Chains A and B, each alone.
Chain A
Amino acid sequence: MPSEGGLSAEHVLEFPGGYTRTTGPVIGRFLTELRGGRIVGVRTAGGKVLVPPLEYDPATGDAVTGEYVEVGPAGTVRAWAWVAEPRPAHPLDRPFAWALIELDGADTTLVHAVDAGNPKAIAAGTRVWPVWRGDRTGHITDISCFVAEVTTIVSPVRTVYRLQAGGALQVFLEGVRRGVFVGGRCGGCAKVYVPYRLSCPECGIPMAEQVELPDTGTITTFAINNLPDPRAPEVPFVSAYILLDGSDVPMISLVGGVPAHEVRQGMRVRAEWLPESERTLSMANIRWFAPTGEPDVEL
């Protein structure tokens, strides 16, 4: 087994300070242009543009023409591989993609790193642009990496308002602070609306009277929410239309005290109130509606 109690030692092979290599005129031109912030290819006798340039045409073995063509700087990813755990010698110290990048105007692909953030952000066909190093020396790493073309921006939106609860809403919220749902009955159509409002939206006439409704009702429809919401205790949560007993229009509220997948239309529920001492002029006085255990109601 490997060096279990045996003799072992570290052995390092290294050229201290690095190996000095001459570039020759073709690779030298490419690296010189890179230092200047440009990417060039070389044209072959057959008219193809090789990027990075080679001294010869790989298809024929003939010398290339000596005509240098600026390409890119953008290109298209043709193939890619995702490095979840970068190695010390890699160009980036966070997860990144290797890619074969066909720079605009080139007939071959360039191997380089793409700082894509996550593997879902890169695909064959993704457009990428180089990120240039500040202190360039004429080295392939003068391009730090490539990044995706700009296709989206993030626009922050935030404005602050002050809301005043007056009129019908104040009447309703004062009821909620007392642990009562206040509704209104229309003198024309006799429908009971909750929350309380000053006029009947159907008949267009003022409400005839206030009515106090019980805190029990029936779920008419509901939705299971999987995105967090500051008004809900956890994900998933259920928001439902609840038709309070004695009213004609359902009211929206959270449903709790039951697994989300067990909530159903026709389920009987009752409001769970905060203790009286904690109540304010707010719908938050109702934690949620929880099942009563009564048999379901045919809607």
Chain B
Amino acid sequence: MRRVAVVAFAQTEHTGHDTGVGEVELILPVINEVKERTGLTRFGFTCSGSCDYLAGAPFSFVSALDALGAWPPISESHVEMDGAWALYEAWVRLQHGDVDTALVYGFGKSSLGDLAEIMTLQLDPYYLAPLGLDRLSFAALQASATGADRKELDEIVRRSRADGRRNPYALDLPEQIPDGFAVEPLKTSDVAPITDGAAAVVLAAGDLAERLCATPAYITGIAHRIEPHYLGMRDLSRSASAADAARAAGVGKAPVEVAELHAQFAHEEVILRQAMELPDDTVINPSGGPLAANPVMATGLIRIGEAARRIHDGTARRTVGHAAGGPCLQHNLVTVLEA
């Protein structure tokens, strides 16, 4: 395997409402920030993650390329997934050995429509989508199957919001946790906030990583696994795919100081910690995590970026970034980063 590192990470100051900026305008500042930080203006490969249904515009990711300066033509790809999977594709691309740098970005404005109903469109069109099963409803089914302790869930929300208030990029959500169900047993406070935002990461391979960054965050393990789509085919109280991905990425080979988990609902953190066998002394989501800012399609990439940032700033030596996709944690990607 070629050694590949995260050498730069940038994210927007996420907002809980639509500020009116277009997607190109949203991405441009974070692309420029990672360019400035690395001194690079061209990359061997570029890959992005987004979802056209968020804006309701087919091929909206193509227009987003205007933020890159894609002329003369660049080598570029896109995944209709969270930017974390764009990072995975870029990591694979760097393994080929013919290019040494990759630009990865993810973006999303979930404020434009009704996210709960937009996410119905990701469901299979025969058995689930015709029921109008929305994002909050299937998350509530998983919360019900999990049966996590209410106090533990409230504590996750409280901790995430407190960390988020200290994170200049996350939302300022009140300390007071309101009562009331979104869909019982899912409380409205268990749900990640509607958020607009973007993030960018630069990957570099081999010796170049150390020339571009004083403390590169090396990807020493990265793997993703997926489960059946249909909810009734799975044990929703567990995440077999997160467990498999964590094992394949080697999470348990050494202590993990920080884990950034893509838990968009409080109970998902409980499931993921258990699946990834994270010990009690691992700090979970010190950024506040998705419960403090959830720019859909960038949230997973931000988890890897935040995990890398702890190594860049020297506060940790070994961290984990996790991303999830599909209904009820169907698809999980785990990245181990080391100094």
Query: Which of chain A's residues 6-51 have a Cβ closer than 8 Å to chain B?
Result: 6-7, 11-13, 19, 21, 23, 27, 31, 50-51
Which listed residue, A2, A21, A51, A52, touches B111 by the CB 8 Å rule?
A: A2
Pair A100/B232 contact, Cβ less than 8 Å: yes
Q: Of residues A7, A19, A80, which shows the largest number of chain B Cβ atoms within 10 Å of its Cβ? A: A80
Query: Which of chain B's residues 228-250 have a Cβ closer than 8 Å to chain A?
Result: 228, 230-233, 236
Pair A111/B231 contact, Cβ less than 8 Å: yes
B117: chain A residues at CB < 8 Å are 87, 89
Contact status of A79 and B144, CB under 8 A, knowing A2-B18, A6-B20: yes
Contact status of A112 and B144, CB under 8 A, knowing A1-B17, A2-B111, A31-B126: no
User: From B141, which residue of chain A is reached at the shortest CB distance?
Assistant: A81
Pair B184/A81 contact, Cβ less than 8 Å: yes
B144: chain A residues at CB < 8 Å are 79-81
User: From B134, which residue of chain A is reached at the shortest CB distance?
Assistant: A87
Chain A interface mostly: loop
Which listed residue, B125, B127, B184, B236, touches A82 by the CB 8 Å rule?
A: B184
Q: CB of A90 within 8 A of chain B? A: yes
B232: chain A residues at CB < 8 Å are 51-52, 100, 108-111
Q: CB of B185 within 8 A of chain A? A: yes
Which listed residue, A31, A50, A89, touches B134 by the CB 8 Å rule?
A: A89
Q: CB of B132 within 8 A of chain A? A: yes
Pair B141/A82 contact, Cβ less than 8 Å: no
Pair B231/A100 contact, Cβ less than 8 Å: yes
Query: Which of chain B's residues 116-155 have a Cβ closer than 8 Å to chain A?
Result: 116-117, 120, 125-128, 130-134, 137-138, 140-141, 143-145
Pair B133/A111 contact, Cβ less than 8 Å: yes
B contact residues, range: 35 or more
Q: CB of A58 within 8 A of chain B? A: yes
Pair A81/B230 contact, Cβ less than 8 Å: no
Nearest-neighbour CB distance to chain A for B21, whole angstroms, equals 11
User: From A97, which residue of chain B is reached at the shortest CB distance?
Assistant: B184
Which listed residue, B18, B112, B141, touches A111 by the CB 8 Å rule?
A: B141
Q: CB of B56 within 8 A of chain A? A: yes
Q: CB of A260 within 8 A of chain B? A: no
17 A–B contacts from the bound complex (CB under 8 Å): A3-B18, A13-B56, A13-B57, A52-B232, A79-B145, A83-B137, A84-B181, A87-B116, A87-B117, A87-B134, A91-B132, A98-B133, A98-B141, A109-B232, A111-B128, A111-B131, A111-B230
Given A2-B17, A2-B18, A19-B125: 10 more A-B contacts, CB < 8 Å: A6-B20, A52-B230, A54-B230, A58-B228, A80-B141, A81-B137, A84-B184, A108-B232, A111-B133, A112-B131
